[in-house]
A and B are shown apart, each in its own frame.
Chain A
Amino acid sequence: MTRFATANSAVDMAEHLLELARRRADQVEVYLSESEETGAQFNAGKVRTVGASQRLAVAVRVIKGGRLGFYATSDLTDLGDAVERTVAAAAEGQEVRFDFAERAAGPVVKTWDDVTAGLGASDLVTMGSEWLGRVAEAEPEAVVNGFVQKALVRTHILTSNGQDAVRQDTGLAVEVEASRTRPNDVANLWQFHHGVRRDDDLEANLDRLCRNFRLSRELTTVRPGRMPVVLSPARAGLFLDRLVEGVSGRNVRAKVSPFIDRVGQPIVDARVNVVEDPTLDWEPGSSSYDDEGIPTARTPILQNGVLQGFMYDLSSAGDLGVRPTGHGRRHTAFFPPSVLSTGMVLEPGDQSLEELLADIDEGLYVEEVIGGTGNLLDGAFSHPVAMAFKIEGGRLGGRVKDVSIAGNIYELMRDHLGGLENRAYSNGAWFRAPHIRLNDVSVAGKA
């Protein structure tokens, strides 16, 4: 199923690099990433640019005398030089207590879709016109921009310990950014969605964006104070961003995680279940192996609100004397692996969105916030809202501007969880979550 023009030569190159480097070091890992992308960029509802991209980069790691060397390059004209530079980096590298991946088969995960792989530029233009057209129909006053991009990605991880892991993924990324400008009132809505193929979550997320435009036509206010707040599925990141930091093996090693020595203890409400699962078919972050060639697996994080465990890459696992969990991930070939989540799921609850809203006399529905991330470790957050709506008499009302939400997400999820929706949606990146109702959130604003 090789579909890359350069694939055979790239495999040869990776193997050649491994051979060259193993003569100079105790252990070697070669990470090779190849991609072909085609994308259509839309401005004001019309395609203005079509672009193609071919990328090929390799990262070499060696362990020599207990020290790690890392070098990454997209200049593949001189492999001998690449090896020299990696070995030179090892002389100055950090001491490590791990070995590169050994031969092991990962779970079978579906991440390649033939239909997506076969899409041409004109297909992307057609799909983009349809999706952006839906937004323009929902809000005729809006200027709609965006892009649709198809990617074929091949990743090859080879180690001198026998691992030979290959991943082939398709990707379909869609961005829609639309704004309606009125005197001193700009409604700007944004949706990014990345999937293995065209999926239902994209449709659901676009429907929500269209709904938000309709709601935002009317402006209203809430009385500042404490009130119920419903977070849209995309804003579950307020919780999950912090949770990932807390369960990162790197933060355990640095002794800054708030969860050290708390495995088996309740962290949040017993209705909360979170699992890191990169083995699910057709999810954008799913894969059979992580970026260090370690087989992926389902890792429970919170079960009935109780902390189950942490996420480790090779480095943090080695230092802490535990087994790696397959969470060594790289942003690109040019970044060394670190602990990242690629498939976190906040399990759905048992109420519909209507039921979550039903008994709220006055509250706030938050779609989008702006600003920094607050204190990721201790759970504190404080954000002005970018797009939020009043909840009034159990229903969604007009747009509320110029208010901020603040609190500590762990306290809120522990003591004030109002409920979780009975369906979870992909945020189009790395997690899947339902609407979350929190009962007692501080909302500040001009009274």
Chain B
Amino acid sequence: MTLSQADYRDRMTEALRTSRADFTDIRLELIETTDVRYRGGRLEAATTGRDCGGIVRCLAGGRWGTASFNSLEDLPARVDEAYACAQSVPSGDVALAPVEPVVDVVPAPIVRDFRQVNLSAKKALAKGYSDLILAQPSVTDARTSFSDRFCACYYASSEGSFIYQEHPYAVLGLSATARDGSEVQSAGDGIACGLDVGLAEGREDVALEVAGRAHALLAAPPVKGGVYTVILGPRMAGLFVHEAFGHLSESDFLADSPKAQEMMTLGRRFGREFLNITDGGAAAPGLRGNMKYDDEGVRCGDTDLVREGVLVGRLHSRETAGRMGERPTGNARATFYRYPPIVRMTNTRILPGPHHLEDMLADIKLGVYAKYSGGGQTFMENFAFASGGSYMIRDGQVAELVRDVNFGGNLFTTLANIDAVADDFTWGASGGSCGKGQEMWLPVGMGAPHVRVREVLIGGR
């Protein structure tokens, strides 16, 4: 169906007018996707899709009811359905923190638009990298992909907000598998290029790096398990701050738990004076987690979480801010229309510190330099993450490549054990995707400088 912005606005406003709830909002999303995948030089998929749907939330007597749907035809009926759901909650005490209604149209600041590149050209791009990777020594399999998703999102609330935003996401994915007899090793990387598809072109350097790393990992010994001083590269440090710290800053975990609030009391010292952590939807241009407004129409700003080593803030939706008597931070996000928004990060970063990388290395007799990231997970105060390639540090020098490097630890002791933060901040170019609860793959940004941590437990045989 082809409707104008004014048509959507009229339909949504009309449906909101019928609501009997205290507060109602509607989010509609029109999503166009393409996905091109090569494996082993062979085209595995060249697919396109269109996904349209929405969700209505009603808050009635402190109780939430929601209705999600694909058909945009009968919005008043969906509002009724959400209201009926709220009525079936026995009792409730939800109170949203107040915000000013917003009317705004926010087109994405696109430089070169991936929607202007046809499927054939996207195939050629992915195929070129696939061929290059497969031509490298020991490589037996290559997976390359170009996936994009353009989401046009309409938001309207009974308080008078109406916002149109565009969220373009695209990722070039490159990975290599090398094999020597029964030994198999893989390496991968990704380039986020949602605002500028040109960033995916001419990246032979990245393709050669993943192929070379997979090859080198074949001969690399597994790291010996134990406790080490570790230097986290910017990517690993960004992943660490997201996984270990960021998730505990999400106030839905705190709002109902006095004990957890005690643990995360503002003013508690978490690290040394050079540790600063922030989250924000507009931290720098072109980041994966960028948004002007979150999924309940709240303006995204920068939120200081740790300032000079001390906990100073946390991330909120209107609901958690209302419950805790704080201000919303614009962190209510949903992966797509199927879900109501929950508290999520946007772009999380460790700010640059006063130290130099060479000095940080110099006094390490035996340690690990975790350069490439391989994914992470948090489990409350416990976290874990994997490195996709690490080096031993011997006598202050970066030495041999090692594999199977997995870190785990306790957030509080690990933050306290950060004894140096370098001055070489970078945002991760690959862009991350975050999972929480039932919802996977929410685009987020992460950034950090090199960070040194004492006494890190590394698993190993």
Interface set of A (CB-CB < 8 Å, partner B): 40-41, 43-44, 46-57, 70-78, 85, 88-89, 92-95, 120-122, 125, 141, 143, 145, 175, 179-186, 188, 224, 253-256, 258, 334, 336, 368-375, 377-378, 380, 382-386, 401-407, 442, 444-446
Contacts of A224 in B (CB 8 A): 225
Contacts of A256 in B (CB 8 A): 140-141, 177, 179, 184
Measured in the bound complex, the distance between the Cα atoms of B225 and A405 in whole Å is 10
Contacts of B461 in A (CB 8 A): 382, 406-407, 442
Size category of the B interface is 35 or more
A109 to chain B, nearest CB (A): 26
Measured in the bound complex, the distance between the Cα atoms of B1 and A75 in whole Å is 8
Tell me the chain B residues, 398-425 only, with Cβ under 8 Å from chain A: 404, 406-410, 412
Given A71-B49, A179-B257, A377-B184, A48 and B64 contact (CB-CB distance below 8 Å): yes
Measured in the bound complex, the distance between the Cα atoms of B409 and A446 in whole Å is 11
In the complex, per-residue mask of B269-298: 1 if CB is within 8 Å of any chain A CB, else 0: 000000000000000000000000000000
- Are B119 and A92 in touch, CB under 8 angstroms? yes
- Are A54 and B70 in touch, CB under 8 angstroms? yes
Contacts of B88 in A (CB 8 A): 50, 120-122, 125
Can you report 24 A-B residue pairs in the complex whose CB atoms are below 8 A from each other?
A: A49-B65, A49-B66, A51-B64, A51-B82, A54-B70, A55-B70, A74-B50, A77-B1, A92-B123, A93-B46, A125-B88, A125-B89, A179-B260, A181-B257, A184-B263, A188-B380, A224-B225, A370-B382, A370-B383, A374-B404, A378-B182, A404-B460, A406-B459, A442-B461
Contacts of A183 in B (CB 8 A): 262-263
Measured in the bound complex, the distance between the Cα atoms of B460 and A49 in whole Å is 44
Given A256-B141, A384-B457, A70 and B45 contact (CB-CB distance below 8 Å): yes
Contacts of A402 in B (CB 8 A): 408-410, 457
Given A50-B86, A336-B45, A444 and B460 contact (CB-CB distance below 8 Å): yes
- Interface hub of B1, B140, B374, B408 (most chain A Cβ within 10 A): B408
A146 to chain B, nearest CB (A): 10
- Are B89 and A50 in touch, CB under 8 angstroms? yes
- Are A179 and B380 in touch, CB under 8 angstroms? yes
- Are B184 and A406 in touch, CB under 8 angstroms? no
Q: Is B144 an interface residue (CB 8 A)?
A: no
Given A70-B45, A372-B375, A53 and B33 contact (CB-CB distance below 8 Å): no
Contacts of A73 in B (CB 8 A): 49-52
B375 to chain A, nearest CB (A): 4
Measured in the bound complex, the distance between the Cα atoms of B222 and A442 in whole Å is 13
Contacts of A43 in B (CB 8 A): 252, 255-256
Contacts of B63 in A (CB 8 A): 48-50
- Are A383 and B140 in touch, CB under 8 angstroms? no
Contacts of B378 in A (CB 8 A): 370
Interface residue from B46, B437, B459 paired with A384 (Cβ < 8 Å): B459
Given A51-B340, A125-B90, A370-B382, A75 and B47 contact (CB-CB distance below 8 Å): no
- Are B457 and A446 in touch, CB under 8 angstroms? yes
Q: Is B116 an interface residue (CB 8 A)?
A: no
9-residue interface stretch from B35-43, B158-166, B194-202, B204-212: B35-43
Interface residue from A72, A94, A369, A375 paired with B46 (Cβ < 8 Å): A94
Interface residue from B45, B64, B85, B183 paired with A52 (Cβ < 8 Å): B85
Q: Is B69 an interface residue (CB 8 A)?
A: yes
B323 to chain A, nearest CB (A): 10
Measured in the bound complex, the distance between the Cα atoms of B260 and A94 in whole Å is 52
Given A94-B45, A184-B412, A406-B225, A372 and B459 contact (CB-CB distance below 8 Å): no
- Are B68 and A51 in touch, CB under 8 angstroms? yes
B24 to chain A, nearest CB (A): 14
- Are B256 and A44 in touch, CB under 8 angstroms? yes
Contacts of B33 in A (CB 8 A): 334
A149 to chain B, nearest CB (A): 9
Measured in the bound complex, the distance between the Cα atoms of B81 and A374 in whole Å is 45
Find the B residue at minimum CB distance from A89.
Answer: B48
- Are B340 and A49 in touch, CB under 8 angstroms? yes
Find the B residue at minimum CB distance from A57.
Answer: B70
Tell me the chain B residues, 317-349 only, with Cβ under 8 Å from chain A: 338, 340
- Are B406 and A53 in touch, CB under 8 angstroms? no
- Are A71 and B47 in touch, CB under 8 angstroms? yes
Contacts of A444 in B (CB 8 A): 225-226, 457-460
In the complex, per-residue mask of B237-268: 1 if CB is within 8 Å of any chain A CB, else 0: 00000000000000010011101101100000
Measured in the bound complex, the distance between the Cα atoms of B457 and A442 in whole Å is 14
- Are B65 and A51 in touch, CB under 8 angstroms? yes
Measured in the bound complex, the distance between the Cα atoms of B227 and A53 in whole Å is 49
- Are B184 and A89 in touch, CB under 8 angstroms? no
Tell me the chain B residues, 430-461 only, with Cβ under 8 Å from chain A: 437-438, 455, 457-461
Apart from A121-B85, A374-B404, list 19 A-B contacts with CB within 8 A. A50-B66, A54-B70, A71-B48, A71-B49, A121-B88, A125-B88, A188-B380, A253-B40, A254-B141, A371-B408, A372-B375, A372-B384, A380-B404, A384-B406, A402-B457, A404-B408, A406-B459, A442-B225, A444-B226
- Are B140 and A442 in touch, CB under 8 angstroms? no
Measured in the bound complex, the distance between the Cα atoms of B64 and A289 in whole Å is 38
Contacts of B40 in A (CB 8 A): 253-255
Given A181-B260, A256-B177, A382 and B459 contact (CB-CB distance below 8 Å): yes
Given A48-B92, A402-B408, A254 and B379 contact (CB-CB distance below 8 Å): no
Measured in the bound complex, the distance between the Cα atoms of B70 and A403 in whole Å is 46
Contacts of A94 in B (CB 8 A): 42-46
Measured in the bound complex, the distance between the Cα atoms of B57 and A42 in whole Å is 16
Find the B residue at minimum CB distance from A442.
Answer: B461
Measured in the bound complex, the distance between the Cα atoms of B452 and A143 in whole Å is 35
Find the B residue at minimum CB distance from A126.
Answer: B90
Contacts of B458 in A (CB 8 A): 404, 444
- Interface hub of A141, A404, A405 (most chain B Cβ within 10 A): A404
In the complex, per-residue mask of B129-149: 1 if CB is within 8 Å of any chain A CB, else 0: 000000000001100000000
- Are B186 and A375 in touch, CB under 8 angstroms? yes
- Are B338 and A53 in touch, CB under 8 angstroms? yes
- Are B45 and A143 in touch, CB under 8 angstroms? no
Contacts of B19 in A (CB 8 A): none
For the complex of A and B, the 6 pairs showing the least CB-CB separation, nearest first, are A384-B408, A404-B459, A371-B384, A444-B225, A44-B256, A372-B386
- Are B404 and A406 in touch, CB under 8 angstroms? yes
Find the A residue at minimum CB distance from B386.
Answer: A372
Given A77-B1, A384-B384, A404 and B68 contact (CB-CB distance below 8 Å): no
Measured in the bound complex, the distance between the Cα atoms of B259 and A182 in whole Å is 7
In the complex, per-residue mask of B163-186: 1 if CB is within 8 Å of any chain A CB, else 0: 000000000000001010011111
Find the A residue at minimum CB distance from B226.
Answer: A444
Measured in the bound complex, the distance between the Cα atoms of B89 and A72 in whole Å is 35
B167 to chain A, nearest CB (A): 17
Measured in the bound complex, the distance between the Cα atoms of B97 and A103 in whole Å is 58
Measured in the bound complex, the distance between the Cα atoms of B373 and A218 in whole Å is 34
Contacts of B226 in A (CB 8 A): 444
- Interface hub of A43, A71, A372 (most chain B Cβ within 10 A): A372
